[in-house]
Structures are given as structure tokens and as C-alpha cells.
Structure 1
């Protein structure tokens, strides 16, 4: 169950990033990020009616809020990078930091001990994501992708610390914190009406991804859930190739294959 939930999180995130990337090329990236978090808040509130929350504590809500700060920063840098560079490069790069930092913290500070197969999947996933990026950290939008990875890592780590009795409420406080993080940057900007619904949908997908990830951590090690959820770059990469006609090199194709193998290993582990 934990593996399926983490993979559902990856699919939702991938679709969200693809749609958000397209919008960021036609509208200010901070506006798209803000509207997305507002849409995500609505989805998170709906999720509270589905996920039981028998023992929500102030600490759970605090961890959720810290996660939302990471979300806000991560989405700002991600959408700015997507507005400048190729989707098939920026999104995978953001996932490198999003995977590497939580794995290191989970093992070093949380006492987690993945199985040998899971470790092999972790080790394989990191270079896979790098290969998908093309190995070039100098191109347009790439520094933003790397900075976004730090925000995504904070999002994953903080949310995983919320207790299992909190249900989706940490995701709710996270969306509120994300809105407050982004809001100062857009106070003087007015969104176009045509951007409201699409941006809200992208944020709703991202919030759904977080709910699935949070549920996955209840059934799976944080290390494994983070890595599976962070394989989402395969979605925008494939859509970038088929829809946007972006071209991949041989290394990027190899990276996609390695990412698929990492999913299988983590599922078996």
C-alpha cells in the first residue's frame, strides 16, 4: 500500500509540474505559485474529511507549517526555472536535492535502516535523476531547479514528522504557510482571470500528491517513500518529449530507464 501511495504521489506531482511549467511561461511565476497553493488548500481541506485525525497535536500542525515553507520556496524557484529553461531538465534537477537530502537525514538522524534492495534503489535513483537532467548544471533555469530541490527536501522531511493521528491537517497548515511565504512577492500583481482555474488545479494536484505521500509514510520508511515520490520527473520529461517536442540525449534516456529500475527495486524492498 505504501508503495502505491508513493507512486500516486509521483504521478500527481508530475502532472502538476507539467501544467505549472506551461502556465509559468505565460504568466508571472509567483502568481502561478500562489494560486496553486490556494487551490491546494482547498484540496487539503477536502482530504481532512477522508483521512481520520483522532490525535492532531500542535507539533503536527507546526511540522506541517514548516513543510509549507519548503513548498512555497520550492515552487517559487521551480516555476521560475520552468519559465526560463527546458522542462525535461529543470524538474529532474529539482528532484536530485529533493531525494538526496531527505535520504541523508533519514539515515543519519532518524535511525532508518532500509533493506539492501531499497538501498540499491536509492543509489540507482540519484544518478538516474542526474542523467535525466543531462548532467549540465550551467544551463538556463538550472540553478533555480537546484534551489527548488532544497525547498522540496524541507517539504518532505518536515511533513514526515507529523504524527499518524493528524490526518491531512498538516497538509492544510502547510498550504497556509506556503501562501504566506509567497504572498509578499505578489501583493502588487493582479492575476488574469484566465489563469485562476488552471493554476488552482495544478496546486490541487500538488496537494493531492502530498496527501498521498503523507499516507505512504504511514506504511513505508520515509527513505523509500521520498525516493518513490521523487521519481515524478519522469512524467514531465515524457510529456515534454511528446507534447512540447523537447529532445533527449542518450544519457537522459538511460536515466529514465534507471529510474524505472529504481521503482522496481524500492517496491521489492
Structure 2
């Protein structure tokens, strides 16, 4: 019961975080959005969650927290990038299905878990759901790009890997793995951001030396203020995303600790409900009926896997 409560609540919170992350990635790069969100989450977990909920520091738990941080920042970075491409209402469920299948397969192949017939039907239904979600027969319906779909599947696989890694930590570790997770993730993303910045500066210098024109003076005068406003807005959204995402991770960890990984991960995969609702209300995204059918099947598959 507690697993369902924590995981489903965390799923709704995850959906809101993904929506904010996708909006942030539209204003700044997905790399910067992920880095800022990770730092904001690290501050929240270290200042609020760890003192309140506590946890023991052991080498194994710190190691698994670090591993989950590297895997997690890859998954979240790909997620924010694909949500920025859009449509959120299609790519978010695709990511969710992949993130649910990976822990289930891990449990079946490596952890010795066994499902009944309902569980295996749920896996098959999830694959059908992915096909329906990506199929757009109607004119005017939102159409996901191949790049967006591939990024969504990769993101889901990495998020599933995060679930597996964080499940290896002990109950006594409390919030320690999540603090390490966010700290490592922020370091990785800011390092990657620095590398990208250096490479961009080198390319710009090379263009300047070669005499390649960089644009007229009027445009150069208009851009800085607009860029600063866009950057500030994107960073604010990324900070909000990090706070909401860290909250969702706390709920998910509590759900995993209260029951089985496969059940918690599959229930947490229902997070597209929050993303889709916000995308429909705020961005006015339109979804074809067959895609709605795919979304319903995805949620049904998640429920079947949970009861299996």
C-alpha cells in the first residue's frame, strides 16, 4: 500500500518536473537546464531532506548513489532535450514505458523475479502502446520526430537504470544516496557544460581568425538583452524543476524502500499523466484519438505490471 501511495504521488510530481524541465530546455540548452536542476535538487536534498530524514554514510551506498547520479543525469538530460523538441504529450509516455520495462526485465532476468500471465501480457501491451503513441494518422495532429523518439527511448532506458542502481542501496542509508546522486549529477553536467563552452569558444575564435562575418551591429545590439531575459527565465524554470524533481525522487525512494522495485518503478512510470495535463493546458498540444488509445494502453500496461 505504501509503495503504491509513494510511487503514484511521486509519478505526478515527476510529471510536473519534466514539464518544467522541457520548458527550461526550450529557453536554454538541455545541458544547462539539467545542470542547474541538478544543483538545485542537491541543495534541497542536502539542506532539507537529509537533516529531516537522515541516513548512514557507507562506501557501498555512496558508490551506488554516485553510479545512479551518472546514469540519472544522462536520462534526465536526454529527457529534457526530447521534451524541448516535443511534443511533450507523446515523448513523455514513450520515455515512461521504456523506464518501466528496464527494471522489470532486470528483475526477471537477474533478480529472479517471476510474473504471472498478467505481467507478461502487460509487457506486450506496453510495446503496442509505444507503437500507437508514435503513430499519427490524422492531419494536424502532433507528430514526433525520429530523433525525438530515439532520445525518449534512450532516456527511458537510462531512467530505468537509475531505478536499478538506487535500489542497490541499503534502507539505513536514508537520503544519502539521493544527496550523492544529485551532487555527482551536478558535477558531471557542469563539467560537460564547461567542455561544450570551451569548444564553442574555440570554434568562434577560429571563425574570427578566418574572417567569417558574425552579423551586423544592429542585431548584435538587440540580442544581448533578449538573450539575458531568455537565459534568466530558463534558469528560473530549471531551478523550479530541480526542486520538484528532487521531491519526486524522495517519494520514489520511499516507495522502493516500502516494497518491490518492479512495482515502484512501473507505478512511477505513470508520470506522463502530469506532463500531458500541463502540456494540454499550457501549450494547447493536440493529440490524435489513436495516440490517446496508446496512452491509455500504456497506463493499463503499467497497472498490469504492478499487480503482476
User: What TM-score comes out, normalization by structure 1 length?
Assistant: 0.88
- Cα 1:268–1:112 change in 2 (3 A) is closer
1:51 match: 53
Task: Point out the more displaced range, 188-197 or 206-215.
Answer: 188-197
- Assess if the C-alpha contact under 8 Å between 1:98 and 1:152 holds in 2: yes
For structure 1, the residue ranges without an aligned partner over 5 or more in a row are none
- Assess if the C-alpha contact under 8 Å between 1:137 and 1:143 holds in 2: no
- Cα 1:10–1:2 change in 2 (3 A) is same
- Assess if the C-alpha contact under 8 Å between 2:25 and 2:80 holds in 1: yes
After superposition, where does 1:32-43 map in structure 2 within 5 Å?
32-43=33-44
- Assess if the C-alpha contact under 8 Å between 2:97 and 2:298 holds in 1: no
After superposition, where does 1:222-241 map in structure 2 within 5 Å?
222-241=261-280
Deviation string 1:113-158 (CA, Å, 9 cap, x unpaired) is 3566566555545544553344887535222212212221221110
1:213 match: 252
Secondary structure (helix, strand or coil) at the match of 1:186 reads helix
- Aligned residues, how many? 268
For structure 2, the residue ranges without an aligned partner over 5 or more in a row are 137-142, 199-227
1:180 match: 187
Q: Which has the larger radius of gyration?
A: 2
How large is the Cα RMSD of the aligned pairs?
A: 2.5
Partners of 1:125 and 1:221 in 2: CA distance: 20
- Cα 1:231–1:80 change in 2 (3 A) is same
2:201 match: none
**Does residue 156 in structure 1 map to residue 174 in structure 2?**
no
- Assess if the C-alpha contact under 8 Å between 2:75 and 2:156 holds in 1: yes
**Does residue 97 in structure 1 map to residue 98 in structure 2?**
yes
- Assess if the C-alpha contact under 8 Å between 2:79 and 2:151 holds in 1: yes
Partners of 2:123 and 2:249 in 1: CA distance: 20
Partners of 2:132 and 2:11 in 1: CA distance: 18
- Assess if the C-alpha contact under 8 Å between 1:92 and 1:130 holds in 2: no
- Assess if the C-alpha contact under 8 Å between 2:27 and 2:231 holds in 1: no
After superposition, where does 1:185-200 map in structure 2 within 5 Å?
185-187=192-194, 188=197, 192-200=231-239
2:289 match: 250
- Cα 1:41–1:127 change in 2 (3 A) is farther
The ranges of structure 1 where at least 4 consecutive aligned residues each deviate by more than 4 angstroms after the TM superposition are 114-126, 135-138, 262-269
2:3 match: 2
- Assess if the C-alpha contact under 8 Å between 1:131 and 1:252 holds in 2: yes
- Assess if the C-alpha contact under 8 Å between 1:102 and 1:153 holds in 2: yes
- Cα 1:100–1:28 change in 2 (3 A) is same
After superposition, where does 1:8-47 map in structure 2 within 5 Å?
8-45=9-46, 46-47=48-49
User: What TM-score comes out, normalization by structure 2 length?
Assistant: 0.78
2:175 match: 168
Deviation string 1:67-102 (CA, Å, 9 cap, x unpaired) is 111111112212222222311122222223211111
Cα deviation, residue 29, structure 1: 1.4
1:88 match: 89
- Assess if the C-alpha contact under 8 Å between 1:95 and 1:231 holds in 2: yes
